[in-house]
């Protein structure tokens, strides 16, 4: 159905093709999951409006304009009708028409409101590129204008090597006076964007940033002590939160757990240990799961459980999805209320972001 939808969309309205990445395989899956999320929320108008508003704001960075929505609706209904067969009745067509028009209207209004307070994208020059080993590069960019964000949020980025292929990365720093942001990017296998950033990007190259997103921020913790769990480059937003805590003079204790398979892969551990030497409120522990070393062995969730209980703490988690999911289950089992466990969506943020009032564990392009 999604193959047919995009085929007729690009045939009838060829001008919209430029909004989409060259590789459409993942894109088709995103369309389907977006539709399924809308259906899932159809009986919860408040959260449905939240979701469609988020989509509308996010679509600004692709160059989506109001006139695109009727074209998409026309082709979507044609694709649904073709593949629904005899189930596509007059009543069903009318229901889908109302549903699409409602969702599109909410997205359009959200985009219009967003355009009054910030640009759709920011051009940013790479001003620093430092290899950190194990396929990780520390990349610092300077946006062409003020880029307001909160420590712990994530940012979508488009590179000149893969136009319209947006990926999300978390700044590893709290907001700075010079407006620069530093990202820690790992070149993943088959990752065309991450590999280009790590191996081909140079100082002077220009990337584009979308609006900051995410709710994993220090303000969520109120007055409670913190337990932070980071795996791989998931340390970046945790590091930004701790930097913000140091800047604001935090009056609570923070336990940070950093995990990896081997000691060599304990990315960022030395930096965090140096921070702990300067900040009395910070304790840092490492966990290694696939190597026998002097010190703590085991998976991150196992080591986390050993040092508990954490039922009086606020938790921040970031890293590989399996690690985050298991760590969240460990904390819940140890008595931490789910409402005090914070993490960003584990797949496509705009499609899986938690919507109030619930939070559930779970690359980014236009629908």
Domains and CATH numbers, the chain: 2-115 (1.10.490.10), 122-209 (2.40.30.10), 218-345 (3.40.50.80)
Q: Which helix (H) or strand (E) holds 354?
A: none
pLDDT of residue 270 exceeding 50, the answer is yes
* Dist. CA 348–CA 26, nearest whole Å: 11
- State what percent of residues in the chain have pLDDT above 70: 91
* Dist. CA 228–CA 239, nearest whole Å: 10
Instruction: Quote the DSSP letter at residue 195.
Output: H
The H-assigned helical ranges of 59-208 are: 68-84, 90-115, 192-199
* Dist. CA 150–CA 39, nearest whole Å: 32
Could you tell me the pLDDT band of residue 297, with boundaries at 50, 70 and 90? low
Could you tell me the pLDDT band of residue 357, with boundaries at 50, 70 and 90? very low
pLDDT of 360:
41
Percentage helix, strand, coil, to 5, in the chain?
45, 20, 35
pLDDT of 293:
56
Supply the angle between the helices 90-115 and 45-58 in degrees, to the nearest 10.
Answer: 60
- Counting every residue, how long is the chain? 367
**CA-based max dimension of the chain:** 70
pLDDT of residue 196 exceeding 90, the answer is yes
Supply the angle between the helices 235-248 and 269-278 in degrees, to the nearest 10.
Answer: 10
* Dist. CA 92–CA 77, nearest whole Å: 10
């Amino acid at each position: 159905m999604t193959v047919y939808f995009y085929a007729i969309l690009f045939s009838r309205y060829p001008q919209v093709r430029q909004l989409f990445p060259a590789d459409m395989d993942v894109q088709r899956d995103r369309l389907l999951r977006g539709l399924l999320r809308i259906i899932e929320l159809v009986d919860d108008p408040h959260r449905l409006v939240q979701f469609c508003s988020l989509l509308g704001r996010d679509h600004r960075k692709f160059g989506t304009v109001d006139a695109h929505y009727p074209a998409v609706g026309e082709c979507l209904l044609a694709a649904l009708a073709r593949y629904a067969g005899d189930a596509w009745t007059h009543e069903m067509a009318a229901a889908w028409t109302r549903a699409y028009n409602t969702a599109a209207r909410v997205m359009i209004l959200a985009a219009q409101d967003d355009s009054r307070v910030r640009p759709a994208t920011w051009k940013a020059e790479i001003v620093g590129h430092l290899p950190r080993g194990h396929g990780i590069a520390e990349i610092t960019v300077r946006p062409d204008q003020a880029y307001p964000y909160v420590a712990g949020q994530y940012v979508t980025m488009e590179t000149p090597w893969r136009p319209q292929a947006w990926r999300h990365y978390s700044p590893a720093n709290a907001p700075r006076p010079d407006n620069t942001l530093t990202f820690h990017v790992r070149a993943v296998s088959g990752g065309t964007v991450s590999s280009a950033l790590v191996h081909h990007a140079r100082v002077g190259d220009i990337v584009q940033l979308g609006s900051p997103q995410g709710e994993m921020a220090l303000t969520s913790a109120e007055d409670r002590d913190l337990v932070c769990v980071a795996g791989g480059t998931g340390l970046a937003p945790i590091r930004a939160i701790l930097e913000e805590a140091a800047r604001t003079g935090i009056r609570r204790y923070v336990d940070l757990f950093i995990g990896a398979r081997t000691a060599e892969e304990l990315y960022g551990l030395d930096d965090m240990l140096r921070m702990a030497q300067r900040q009395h409120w910070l304790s840092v522990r490492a966990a290694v799961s696939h190597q026998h070393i002097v010190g703590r062995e085991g998976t991150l969730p196992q080591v986390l459980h050993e040092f508990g209980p954490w039922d009086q703490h606020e938790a921040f988690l970031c890293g590989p999805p399996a690690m985050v999911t298991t760590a969240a289950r460990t904390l819940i089992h140890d008595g931490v209320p789910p409402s005090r466990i914070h993490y960003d969506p584990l797949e496509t943020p705009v499609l899986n972001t938690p919507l109030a009032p619930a939070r559930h564990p779970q690359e980014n392009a236009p629908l």
